Structure 1
Amino acid sequence: MPIPAQNNSKIKGLTDAEVQASRTKYGRNVLSSKKNNTFLLAIKNILKEPMIILLLVASSIYFISGEIGDGIFLASAIILVAIISLHQDSRSRNAIEKLKIFSQPHCKVIRNDITEELKSEDLVVGDHLILEEGTFITADGYIIHSNDFSVNESILTGEAFSVFKDKTKKDNTVYSGTYVTSGLAIVKITNIGNETKLGKIGKSLESISEEKTPLETQISAFVKKMVFAGTIIFLIVWVINYYQSYNLLDSLLKALTLAMSILPEEIPVAFTTFMALGAWRLMKLGIVVKQLKTVETLGSATVICTDKTGTITENKMSLAEIYVHSSGKIKNLKDGNLTNDEENLITLSMWASEPIPFDPMEIALHQAYSDMNRIDERSNYKIIHEYPLSGNPPMMTHVFQNKNGKTVIASKGAPEAFFEISNLSQLEKEQFENIVQKFSYEGYRVLGVAEYIFEGQDFPQKQQDFKFDFKGLIAFYDPPKKNISEVIESFYKAGISVKIITGDNNETTTSIAKQIGFKGYEKCISGGELMKLNDSELEECVMQTNIFTRMFPEAKLKIINALKSKNQVVAMTGDGVNDGPALKAAHIGIAMGKKGTEIAKQAASLILLEDDLSKMVDAIAMGRRIYKNLKKAIQYIISIHIPIILTVFIPLALGWVYPNIFSPIHIIFLELIMGPTCSIIFENEPMEVNTMSQKPRPLSTTFFSFRELTTSIIQGLTITLGTLFTYQYAIQNNYAETLTRTMVFTVLIAANIFLTLVNRSFYYTILTTIKYKNNLVLLIISITVTIVSLLLFVKPLTGFFEFEQLNFNQILLCIGIGFASVIWFELVKIFKIRTN
């Protein structure tokens, strides 16, 4: 949405017609590169999958053996598995592509005499680009206006120091890939996309590959172990069968049946799907995840380090009160009717601000000046010298001059910055300190304002060398966000501690913290005090203190690293250039989508589009939900694979009457049922009611804990007992092999359905989880029951699968055994609930 431009330079920018003409001539502002055919790449990856290889081998054996029907079925299964895999891959890639679009840098341009915010790819040659502190520059151009403007060009030059630039210097060009470290400039775009200096060099962030996360590594290692075990057992079974029958193809087919039952190929698919779709779900909530690994980490956050301005407060600065030194009076601006001295103080503070303001306080000062209904002098003056924000405490000074040679030297900054360099007596200093303290206790941000009368052009090197005339104090109010108390309380309930890290002073921060019910507001430490602590004192301090004031980049970084050294999983919010190091160092760097600089967004792993900290509560809840649901899915996979493996292996190893109860067509059918169950049903499961009242899981926690793995193994073994009991029951009743196979298969399907329902929670019983909103549960189960019914009662299908129609009692028995082999875990849940 275009917003009115505060444009003292009188630049009108391109018209819509000129923008379209430029885009037609020069194209879009994107770095084009050779793109891989994602569809062919996905097919190639599918053909590398062990399960697909086994299916291809088994299908070929059937064709060679003359069993054309079975061969066609397995060939069809390969196509179906490929389609499912391609669909899942497509969903994941689409989610990631949408995230890339949302995380693309934005920029401000002047068009049609107004300021517009747009995506960087929409820039065109000839645009007038507004660059502010923290802006990531995405095109080449030359400066036509600037204030205290410097850029970091390390990506091009390797030089870490910032370079000051303006239109009068020989090097008045800015380049894509660099970023603004201070000030403001308006730049006319000359090159975009591949024609930029960066584009010609050919550097691209896409060449950077991400390392695997701990969870991804654990899952990958588990799957590799299963593949290795499957290969060993496959060879053993092949040798045993061949020794007994001397039939190479038949023995190979039976060994392949077992190998297929062992491979847990659903696990890596589930992991990728859960992470990608989780990021997509977060995006729908207004949370852009730049790295998928962040989804995994979210549920582990133990500490939220948050800025005050714009995160806890509205970042809507309004000039609330002023104190004029000459009159010794405090004026609330709501009262109106300003005196000349009060108007002069506001005017002077405006001159001490940037001509084109971008800081909320400076915008408020320009607005207050406009509201005074006096002659607007801004267009008559131009800035002839400036001193950037510097010093400790910080201050900034601007020198303006009009056509008649009248000079205004105005300065503003932290009140204490002026105490030693102005004309104040000791008594006046103490008096001012008391007023500053009063303003701060009311939650105001306070600045001192000073003036210097100076003739000539020989300005001192440092602004502190001026002997200022201290004029007074200006106090801004930035109210707390309406929902912030509830947000903070939500973090506390989730077992997450909250720490405020701000550049503001102790009193103002404490006042705001007290208003919102912040725990630990009584104790705080400043950046200067923190830097004096040794490592052990620092680690103790960051754990015991919740408010950190007068912070600067080095101090912020020390806090993050100290928390990490105490095994905390740290989430850090930030918006400025100086927040970059801390955002990168945190486990979860969080940038604000609206007030955040592009550099903060580049450094962060997560962006809150609406600058609303409550979204972090949603993000952490989503992270916990995804992790829990992924764990449910993988525990389900382990539990259901065990009975398939043992039902195939035990009759063969022990030489039972029907040693080859299942063939590859039965195994692949079971796999086709299990895949959608774990990837579709469990991914769509809602968050359990107790999720956000639990403590965060330690990041070092192994995904497959002994207790959880034991639960899955026991579940799998009890289902195995059910299938083998059914097998023996059929033998005792002299049932034929086809009938025995049908009953064992039906028990497995029934157990699979009940396991899906039971494992929707490992704490709450099925009476609770049945109320969870997940329409896919009923859909997938209905499809499963329908397909199995067709196999059992449609004669051509029954014959093809070597099944036999079951009577009502047999069906009831199979369902009962499947139910009994799973439902026992509900008793465990009841016991767990009663003992907690």
Structure 2
Amino acid sequence: MSYNIPEHLDGLSENEVIASRKTYGYNRLESADKNTWLGLVVDILKEPMLILLLIISLIYVIVGDYGEASFMFLAILAVTAISFYQDNRSKKALKELEKLNEPLSKVIRSSKIIEIPTYEIVVGDLCITEEGKSINADGRIVHSNDFSVNESSLTGESYSVFKDSTSEDNHVYSGTVAVSGLAVFQVEKIGKETRVGKIGESIATMEEELSPLQIQVRKFVKGMATIGIVIFLMVCIFSYVKTGDWVASLLSGLTLAMSVLPEEIPVAFTTFMALGAWKLMREGIIIKRSSIVETLGSTTLICTDKTGTITENSMNLAHVYDYHSDKIYEERDFESAELSELIDYAMWSSEPVPFDPMEITLHKTYEQARQKDERKEYRMFHEYPLEGKPPMMTHVFENKRKDRIIAAKGAPEAILHVSRLPESEKAKIREVVKKFGQKGYRILGVAKSYFEGNDFPGKQQDLAFEFLGLTAFYDPPKKRIQEVFRRIYDAGIKVKVITGDNADTTTAIARQAGIINVDDPVNGSEIMNYPEKELIQVAETKTLFTRMFPEAKLAVVKALKKNGEVVAMLGDGVNDGPALKAAHIGVAMGNKGTEIAKSAAAVVIANDDLEKLIVGIAAGRRIYANIKKAIQYIISIHIPIILTVSLPLFLGWVFPHIFTPVHVIFLELVMGPTCSIVYENEPMEKNTMSQPPRAMSNTFLSWRELGISLVQGIMIAIGVLFVYQYTVQNGGTEEKTRAMVFSTLIFANILLSFANRSFFYSILESFKNRNPLLVGISVLVLTLLFVILYVNPVSLFFKVTALNIHELGLCLLMAAASVLWFELYKFVKRREGVT
């Protein structure tokens, strides 16, 4: 794109950039992130499970049992390594997201316009900013073209201010937004030295707000920790009263506390969200906060723009209607002399350096139709920016001979309103507009005006306009867009189209795109007149919202949210900012989106493809489902551990300490990777995107789901304790009983991890969803079990004895019976069609 920048503005050289950076540093606030390698390890060592292991290790050292103490210290290293791996993996994923979220800035260096990451801007740089872009440093304007800026983030004043190099205040400030035109400014302050930087240093240390699911997970873990403390005290007191051995009593209590504490849950949650966001980033879906992945899966309604989202945003000029000849012309006729005035004024009403697709097309049409290009002879010296309801814009140009061109374009209704035409002529033109609209064309009215002197009226609508004609652009629906909307509807998600275009064009394109319920659209001015109750009803029942402006978009989004919808709002312009911010999930377009839209949004789709939003929603549903699977697995497998540790003690069975801390920590080392690594990698079930969205209020396990997990856990406990009693009744020693109980629990754990891959489909069906990590970890766990049973020094340490084939078969049979009954439950669910 050509910016018509004066040649003397050549910017810094590479050596000057290096020198400036040495003096002033990078354009960013000092990072508040203190998560160094050492800090990460210290944070891990603060975890309750690690604290319990340290206490148990010290007790073993005090009583002189150095073998057990050594194993505990090795366990501490293993748990720390797993936690460090998981935390580091999550943080790396989040850092990658931060890099992608870093905006780019245009600068002039060594006489070339280049794009650089914003943090690389240095003092002395010449930065270019234009309509819709955020300003990323403080500086002084050295060149501008109809430049205005919104400084409300600093001043609170909502109106935009026109500035140039000669203005009394010719400075721009980081954090403000260019509203119109273009400016080149020389950077004077960066990073924490900017105005917004001085305000923002305190913001950098603020913690991210927790999502509803995070809050409920934390409450659950705290509740379980409290129960663990109570049980720990009960067991300690009970055991000491019974045995008088305070060391054995303390170890029994700590063993049970370890078995109760579900420390895997918060680790699993953090891992799932961070890696989910990272995987979406690789798909071209940039998530600003990892917790937004949870909300994506709950989306019930999508509000989408039309242009560039549903359509290709190609904006080909298909037809023009010339008012003077009262004829409609096709593309092959655009060089006709009869159309020269209409095409000239359509171009002059556009920006001199166009970036809007329609304006780019108008400039190209002018180039092809005119033998003499007069654009270099004229200078735009006054501008009325796009405004009004419906909107229009007016540009005033003048050449050295003081010849003047005043050109306007905008919504046909807006141009007809300001044109001096009889009502009968306006009605005739409206019929043409309707015909164009019914074919899906996007229509602009074009007019010209005359004005002597420079005392222009405050509003462009106060100028006297002569109507010239209409331009009809065709922006066809994207290929495969019907399939995209079919998948959205299949997922139980509703669609609303919110656009600035007129009703006829929007209805035609919506029908072609496969959107349902497109009759009787409502426009922005009507929206603002509805009382709240009626607005909620209209927002819920209507599908097409046309001639929408920022306040109307915001009103619709708020009304939908009040009605209980989880709203994803797609937008790309400066005017979409408020609605993007208000929606549960603001989604900005990466290619055609303005910086302010990207800043307001929580999600950025890199290639502007609506299909990527479905990918994001599917990922959100998959991650949420997998978190629930992981948590239900954790609850189910903790119950038999708790009961196996506690019941023999409380019921006075012959071997009250069947499990010691060594056995529990081994089981914890098995469960941790299973829930936070294996389940995170679990593919999406085939019925996931054919289910209706979950309610936002259902952010954790329902009583029914919790009940299933409790029953699963109790059934495994019954199987394990049956093996305990069977072995004892048949004269088994403590080592033999422990080996039988331990093996049964390990087999049950592996089978449960496979059974809980789906709470609807069978284990055999789930094998179609390949998850190599699950198979790999299962093989590893079985290998370790056989090492414990059959490698003599290890079996002595674990206080177990080898099992023969019949004993192993009994363990496997009881494990299968205590887990695989769940397959019958799932079979009944499938027969009844209950999900």
TM range (shorter): over 0.9
- 2:569 alignment partner, SS class: strand
- 2:416 alignment partner, SS class: coil
Structure 1 portions without partners, runs of 5+: none
Deviations, residues 182-202 of structure 1 (Å, cap 9, x unaligned): 343333333333443333555
Match of 2:596 among 599, 615, 622: 599
**How much does 1:237 deviate?**
0.8
Match of 1:726 among 715, 723, 726: 723
Match of 2:680 among 661, 665, 683: 683
Q: Which residue of 1 aligns with 2:363?
A: 366
Q: Which residue of 2 aligns with 1:139?
A: 137
Q: Which residue of 2 aligns with 1:198?
A: 196
Letter in 2 for 1:792: L
Question: Contact between 1:106 and 1:598, CA under 8 Å: does it hold in 2?
Answer: no
The 5-angstrom pairing of residues 387-398 of structure 1 reads: 387-398=384-395
Match of 2:798 among 801, 811, 817: 801
The 5-angstrom pairing of residues 11-26 of structure 1 reads: 13-14=10-11, 17=14, 21=18, 25=22, 26=24
**How much does 1:156 deviate?**
2.9
- 1:371 alignment partner, SS class: helix
Distance 1:233 1:787 in 2: 30
Q: Does 1:816 align with 2:813?
A: yes
Question: Contact between 2:273 and 2:293, CA under 8 Å: does it hold in 1?
Answer: yes
User: Which aligned runs of 4 or more in structure 1 are off by greater than 6 angstroms?
Assistant: none
Question: Contact between 1:19 and 1:124, CA under 8 Å: does it hold in 2?
Answer: no
Q: Which residue of 2 aligns with 1:287?
A: 285
Distance 1:18 1:343 in 2: 51
Q: Does 1:835 align with 2:832?
A: yes
| Change beyond 3 A, Cα 1:230–1:785 | same
Match of 1:306 among 293, 304, 307: 304
Distance 1:82 1:734 in 2: 40
Q: Which residue of 2 aligns with 1:78?
A: 76
Letter in 2 for 1:579: D
**How much does 1:491 deviate?**
0.5
Q: Does 1:535 align with 2:532?
A: yes
Letter in 2 for 1:328: D
Match of 2:641 among 633, 641, 644: 644
**How much does 1:21 deviate?**
4.6
Letter in 2 for 1:31: L
Distance 2:334 2:759 in 1: 68
- 1:523 alignment partner, SS class: coil
**How much does 1:427 deviate?**
2.5
Give the TM-score normalised by structure 1: 0.96
**How much does 1:14 deviate?**
4.2
Deviates more, 1:389-398 or 1:151-160: 151-160
Distance 2:176 2:408 in 1: 30
| Change beyond 3 A, Cα 1:294–1:200 | closer
Distance 2:48 2:417 in 1: 75
Letter in 2 for 1:182: S
Question: Contact between 1:13 and 1:127, CA under 8 Å: does it hold in 2?
Answer: no
Q: Which residue of 1 aligns with 2:563?
A: 566
Match of 1:356 among 353, 356, 359: 353
Q: Which residue of 2 aligns with 1:751?
A: 748
Q: Does 1:217 align with 2:215?
A: yes
Deviates more, 1:351-360 or 1:687-696: 351-360
Q: Which residue of 2 aligns with 1:251?
A: 249
Deviations, residues 779-832 of structure 1 (Å, cap 9, x unaligned): 101111111111111101011111101111111111111111101101111111
Q: Does 1:182 align with 2:172?
A: no
Letter in 2 for 1:357: P
Instruction: Count matched residues.
Output: 832
Question: Contact between 2:390 and 2:547, CA under 8 Å: does it hold in 1?
Answer: no
| Change beyond 3 A, Cα 1:37–1:700 | closer
Distance 2:490 2:508 in 1: 23
Deviations, residues 380-402 of structure 1 (Å, cap 9, x unaligned): 21112122222333221111111
- 2:681 alignment partner, SS class: coil
Residue identity (%): 54
Distance 1:196 1:226 in 2: 48
Q: Which residue of 1 aligns with 2:409?
A: 412
Q: Which residue of 2 aligns with 1:59?
A: 57
Distance 1:728 1:19 in 2: 82
Question: Contact between 1:722 and 1:821, CA under 8 Å: does it hold in 2?
Answer: yes
Distance 1:673 1:387 in 2: 68
Distance 1:178 1:727 in 2: 71
Distance 1:716 1:295 in 2: 30
Match of 2:626 among 607, 611, 629: 629
- 1:5 alignment partner, SS class: coil
Question: Contact between 1:726 and 1:744, CA under 8 Å: does it hold in 2?
Answer: yes
Deviations, residues 220-274 of structure 1 (Å, cap 9, x unaligned): 1111111111111110110111112222222111111111111111111111111
Question: Contact between 1:308 and 1:509, CA under 8 Å: does it hold in 2?
Answer: yes
**How much does 1:664 deviate?**
0.4
- 1:356 alignment partner, SS class: coil
Deviates more, 1:423-432 or 1:180-189: 180-189
Distance 1:465 1:89 in 2: 63
Question: Contact between 2:12 and 2:124, CA under 8 Å: does it hold in 1?
Answer: no
Q: Does 1:578 align with 2:556?
A: no
Question: Contact between 1:145 and 1:185, CA under 8 Å: does it hold in 2?
Answer: yes
Deviations, residues 289-339 of structure 1 (Å, cap 9, x unaligned): 112221111111110000111111112222221112222211111x14622
Distance 1:198 1:353 in 2: 34
Deviates more, 1:177-186 or 1:72-81: 177-186
Letter in 2 for 1:68: Y
Deviates more, 1:319-328 or 1:267-276: 319-328
Letter in 1 for 2:572: D
- 2:386 alignment partner, SS class: strand
Structure 2 portions without partners, runs of 5+: none
Match of 1:173 among 171, 174, 180: 171
Distance 1:22 1:157 in 2: 33
**How much does 1:19 deviate?**
7.3
Distance 1:461 1:217 in 2: 53
**How much does 1:615 deviate?**
0.3
Q: Does 1:515 align with 2:512?
A: yes
Distance 1:489 1:18 in 2: 56
Question: Contact between 1:11 and 1:110, CA under 8 Å: does it hold in 2?
Answer: no
Q: Does 1:50 align with 2:48?
A: yes
Q: Which residue of 2 aligns with 1:149?
A: 147
Deviations, residues 566-614 of structure 1 (Å, cap 9, x unaligned): 1111111111122111111111111111111111111111111111110
Distance 1:314 1:357 in 2: 18
Question: Contact between 1:132 and 1:185, CA under 8 Å: does it hold in 2?
Answer: yes
Distance 1:76 1:418 in 2: 79
**How much does 1:563 deviate?**
1.0
**How much does 1:162 deviate?**
3.0
Deviates more, 1:47-56 or 1:730-739: 47-56
| Change beyond 3 A, Cα 1:234–1:449 | same
**How much does 1:16 deviate?**
7.0
Question: Contact between 1:5 and 1:113, CA under 8 Å: does it hold in 2?
Answer: no
Distance 2:534 2:199 in 1: 47
Question: Contact between 1:524 and 1:549, CA under 8 Å: does it hold in 2?
Answer: yes
- 2:369 alignment partner, SS class: coil
Q: Which residue of 1 aligns with 2:237?
A: 239
**How much does 1:433 deviate?**
1.0
Deviations, residues 730-788 of structure 1 (Å, cap 9, x unaligned): 11111110010011000000000100111110000011011211111111011111111
Distance 1:804 1:812 in 2: 16
Distance 2:354 2:19 in 1: 29
Distance 2:20 2:227 in 1: 58
Q: Does 1:715 align with 2:715?
A: no
Q: Which residue of 1 aligns with 2:762?
A: 765
Distance 1:536 1:202 in 2: 39
Give the TM-score normalised by structure 2: 0.96
| Change beyond 3 A, Cα 1:651–1:420 | closer
Deviates more, 1:411-420 or 1:677-686: 411-420
**How much does 1:461 deviate?**
2.8
